[in-house]
Amino acid sequence: MNPDRRLIYGAAFAIMGLSNAVIPILPELVSQDYSASGKFAPSLLFSAYFFGALVTMLPFGILADRFGNLRFIGFSIILTAISGLTILLSENLWILLISRFIEGSACGAFFPAAFATLSRSKDPVRYIGEFTFLFNAGLAAGVLFSGLLADTYLKGAVLVFTVITFPLILCLFPRHRELIHPQNTEKSGSLPHPPGRLFRDLYNVIIKLLSGSNSRIWLSSFLLNGTIGVLIAYYPDYSLGTMTKTQLGSSIASLYACAMITSLLIGRVRIKEKNIIRIGLTFSALGAILVIKYPFLGFSSLGGGSGIALVGFALAVARMNSNRGLVMGLFNTTIYAGLSFAPIIAGLFTGFFSFEKIFIANGCILAATLIL
């Protein structure tokens, strides 16, 4: 296997596993800091990660075009290790929030560079499918291990995935020359170098990418991931007292397990991107409603649909005529904008509506994307 792909695949599993290792234990992490109170605190801890990814995804994507994808993949692995160690050693809510933000920034450095590298390969459909499979495997393992280990050691899953990052860091040392002097940077269509024109031309490129038919891709991606974010952020509180941590972890893990399977399968089927996206959104919308009464079935349908849709979105974005780092940065920005902002917006309504009503509205909004 190509060494870049091997590093990307390993990093995807570790980074995503650590990001989800805190999900089933959000209420307990917040309760460790006696100064923290209220239903909003777990949502903040959940969203800090996605906000970190959101604000760094586009800048890091642009910089990856300039300075090389491998540098940003290595940088993301190091940031992940730092954030994992900090979460392990601290119980202070503010430090945990900062650590989650740093962890999200690692994701912001990783995804545009990883997607850009794979989209330039000889078989991008297959490799993006495999990549999607592995980062969903990490997400599933993170939430599952967290639920299983919580009774033994609350941060057990955080420890596991922090340890996994260290062999990846060791893999960077033999490639230090490539990190210092990148061999392959994307020259075609690169952004202009004169500082006076850089921001103006960059603004024009982004506006062009966001307009027209492209806007439907960005909006659909935002709403799909927003739906997932709301359910993952609030389901631990919604199910409190009715599900064990193991049941909760297993249900949420089914989302990622099904996304793994469908993303791998869809990567081997020749279907137009638009049809892939429509199929994925249909299953996702159905799952968002089912999850209210049937958590395992609902999360499975939501995950299976999102795995299909993500591959479709990535392929559609990769074919846009612009810098790969830039468009992949924009694409991942829509993902993390949904995951970060939607739970916060939903949190504003928790004092007025029940979780069940919020989840129903969430599913209906996602279903509306099918008309886009």
Q: List pLDDT tens digits, range 165-184.
A: 999 999 888 776 767 766 55
Model pLDDT for residues 305-325, shown as the tens digit of each residue: 998 998 888 888 877 766 777
Structural tokens at position 187:
């020259």
Which pLDDT belongs to residue 360? 92
Asked if 142 contacts 23 with a C-beta cutoff of 8 angstroms, the reply is yes
User: Residue 35: is its pLDDT beyond 80?
Assistant: no
Q: What is the dihedral of CA 281, 8, 56, 66, to 10 degrees?
A: -120
Q: What is the DSSP string of 136-191?
A: HHHHHHHHHHHHHHTTT-TTHHHHHHHHHHHHHHHHHGGGHHHHHS-S----TTPP
Q: Which residues pair with 243 in a beta bridge?
A: 240
- Using a pLDDT cut of 70, give the percent of the chain over it: 89
Which pLDDT belongs to residue 40? 67
User: Residue 187: is its pLDDT beyond 60?
Assistant: no
User: Residue 204: is its pLDDT beyond 70?
Assistant: no
Distance from CA of residue 191 to its chain's centroid?
Answer: 26
Q: Which stretch of 16-20, 32-36, 103-107, 345-349 has the lowest confidence by average pLDDT? A: 32-36
Q: Which stretch of 38-47, 54-63, 91-100, 177-186 has the lowest confidence by average pLDDT? A: 177-186
Tell me the average pLDDT of the chain.
83
pLDDT band at residue 23 under the 50/70/90 scheme: confident
Q: Which stretch of 31-35, 250-254, 279-283, 291-295 has the lowest confidence by average pLDDT? A: 31-35
Q: How many CA atoms lie within 13 A of 90 on its CB side?
A: 15
Q: Which fold has domain 3-181+196-371?
A: Growth Hormone; Chain: A; (1.20.1250)
Asked if 314 contacts 115 with a C-beta cutoff of 8 angstroms, the reply is yes
Distance from CA of residue 10 to its chain's centroid?
Answer: 15
The DSSP 8-state label assigned to residue 211 in this structure reads S
Kindly list the domain boundaries of the chain, sorted by start residue. Answer: 3-181+196-371
Which pLDDT belongs to residue 320? 78
The DSSP 8-state label assigned to residue 293 in this structure reads T
Asked if 103 contacts 52 with a C-beta cutoff of 8 angstroms, the reply is yes
Which pLDDT belongs to residue 188? 40
pTM reported for the whole predicted model: 0.74
Q: How many CA atoms lie within 13 A of 217 on its CB side?
A: 27
User: Residue 76: is its pLDDT beyond 90?
Assistant: yes
